[in-house]
């Protein structure tokens, strides 16, 4: 495959519109192994990486007498997280790899190789899966290949930057309602009610590391996890316990949905929920049904497998697009064959194509120097 000179825009050979909403997609589901949880890390209240399970929490079902739940409670005391870049998110995965060098294998040249073909955050993979149906929003990632592994990080676009700046107070409040719902639904210890009088700290996270195989391509990715389903404390240092972990996702939705909202759910939100959960093997999503004033009146369970049934979108097409994209990206970066080169790939609104350009400046890099030093066998 021919690749672009620096800043020349080229087209990646993938069929972005491989499926039209509502049509039948007659292809077999790509070979995708069950995601295996192999590790974890936390982000503390200052948004600092910690190589431990301090951010983990367990599912707690609020008793019926506690309803309705006020998702606005303590809103003035909320501790918001500082918006980080996609490169920052990738760096956390690299810190995990640095701390767990059993994932690395020495090569004949004494450098180190990671036993994975791709490293990314779950959110990047989810967005890629949704790209066949995205027509309004743009999306951009950067990728580079080091010692045989391709690293991918999300890059903020001008459109996303403008949306963040112009976010209304009501939109920001609705985001906080989701975090408050998580506080009602989770506890640091099993079978223990949470203290919902505490201010919500939106920075605290528990991230799990997963590996799986997509059509023979080895994926390693991290994902922020909402809750663990267990009546007993988990021994996070037991690999078998990690593999058997059952996670749950928390969402909020409209208490009384109108026809327009139901259509939006069927066409858009359901595929986002499904892809997010599918990538980490989640079977159940707990949804708090709230009104427009931030009052949660009920909780319903969504079965993730059911989410994908009888929808205009095709789960097979979504995973197929992810497979095609990663294969073509791999071909491209193998042809470039330069660990200092970054490829920026852009999905534009209303476009049927994926465009890329080659970047070589130091400020365009997505892998920090300390990680490069490690992979040279120097740490």
Question: Predicted confidence band at 164 (pLDDT cuts at 50, 70, 90)?
Answer: confident
Q: Which residues pair with 298 in a beta bridge?
A: 289
Average pLDDT for residues 35-52, to the nearest whole number? Answer: 97
| Residue 85 predicted with pLDDT over 50 | yes
- The answer on pLDDT for 5 being more than 50 is no
Pairwise pLDDT comparison (245 vs 3), residue with the higher score? 245
Burial per residue of 178-198, b for 16 or more beta-carbon CB atoms within 10 angstroms, e otherwise: bbbbbbbbbbeebeeebebee
How many percent of the chain have pLDDT more than 90? Answer: 87
pLDDT mean over 142-171:
91
C-beta of residue 356 within 8 angstroms of C-beta of residue 10: yes
Residue with tokens 């073909």: 117
Give the C-alpha distances (Å, rounded to integers) separating 192 from 53, 195, 358: 18, 9, 52
Taken as a whole, the chain contains a residue count of 379
- pLDDT for residue 2: 38
Give the C-alpha separation, 351 to 283, whole Å: 33
* DSSP per-residue letters across 38-64: EEEEEE-TTS-EESSSTT--EE----G
Structure confidence at residue 7 as a pLDDT band (50, 70, 90): low
Q: Which of 209 and 165 is assigned the larger pLDDT?
A: 209
Residue 166: pLDDT band by 50, 70, 90 thresholds? Answer: confident
Reported as a single tens digit per residue, the pLDDT across 255-305 is 877 888 889 999 999 999 999 999 999 999 999 999 999 999 999 999 999
pLDDT above 90 for 165:
no
Q: Is the pLDDT of residue 119 over 50?
A: yes
Q: What is the pLDDT of residues 51-66, one digit of tens each?
A: 999 999 999 999 999 9
pTM for the predicted model, two decimal places: 0.95
Mean pLDDT score across all residues of the chain:
94
| pLDDT at residue 379, as a whole number | 59
Instruction: Examine the pLDDT at 6 and tell me if it is beyond 70.
Output: no
Mean pLDDT check: name the lowest of 1-15, 87-101, 104-118, 125-139. Answer: 1-15
What average pLDDT does range 313-335 have in this prediction? 98
**Residue % of the chain over a pLDDT of 70:** 98
- Render pLDDT for 122-151 as a digit per residue (tens, 0 to 9): 999 999 999 999 988 899 999 999 999 999
């Amino acid at each position: 495959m021919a690749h672009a000179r620096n800043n020349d825009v080229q087209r990646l050979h993938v069929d972005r519109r491989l499926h039209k909403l509502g049509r039948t997609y007659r292809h077999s589901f790509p070979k995708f192994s069950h995601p295996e949880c192999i590790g974890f890390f936390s982000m503390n209240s200052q948004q600092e990486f910690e190589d431990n399970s301090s951010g983990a929490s367990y599912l707690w079902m609020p008793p019926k007498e506690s309803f309705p739940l006020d998702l606005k409670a303590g809103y003035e005391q909320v501790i918001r997280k500082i918006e980080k870049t996609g490169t920052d998110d990738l760096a956390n995965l690299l810190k995990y790899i640095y701390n767990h060098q059993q994932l690395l294998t020495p090569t004949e040249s004494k450098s180190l190789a990671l036993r994975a073909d791709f490293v990314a955050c779950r959110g990047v993979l989810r967005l890629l899966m949704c790209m066949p149906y995205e027509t309004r929003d743009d999306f951009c990632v950067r990728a580079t290949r080091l010692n045989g592994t391709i690293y991918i990080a999300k890059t903020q676009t001008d459109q996303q930057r403008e949306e963040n700046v112009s976010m209304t107070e009501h939109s920001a409040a609705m985001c906080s309602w989701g975090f408050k719902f998580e506080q009602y639904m989770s506890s640091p210890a099993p079978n223990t009610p949470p203290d919902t009088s505490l201010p919500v700290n939106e920075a605290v996270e528990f991230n799990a590391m997963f590996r799986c195989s997509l059509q023979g391509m080895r994926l390693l990715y991290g994902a922020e996890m909402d809750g663990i389903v267990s009546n007993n404390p988990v021994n996070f240092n037991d690999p078998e316990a990690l593999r058997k972990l059952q996670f749950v996702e928390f969402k909020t939705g409209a208490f009384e949905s109108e026809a327009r909202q139901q259509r939006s759910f069927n066409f858009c939100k359901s595929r986002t929920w499904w892809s997010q959960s599918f990538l980490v093997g989640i079977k159940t999503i707990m949804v708090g049904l709230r009104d427009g004033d931030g009052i949660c009146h009920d909780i319903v369970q969504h079965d993730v497998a059911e989410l994908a049934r009888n929808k205009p979108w095709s789960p097979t097409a979504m995973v197929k697009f992810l497979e095609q994209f990663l294969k073509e990206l791999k071909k491209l970066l193998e042809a470039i064959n330069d660990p200092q080169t970054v490829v920026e790939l852009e999905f534009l609104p209303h476009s049927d194509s994926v465009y890329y350009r080659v970047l070589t400046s130091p400020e365009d890099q997505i892998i920090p120097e300390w990680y490069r030093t490690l992979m040279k066998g120097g740490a």
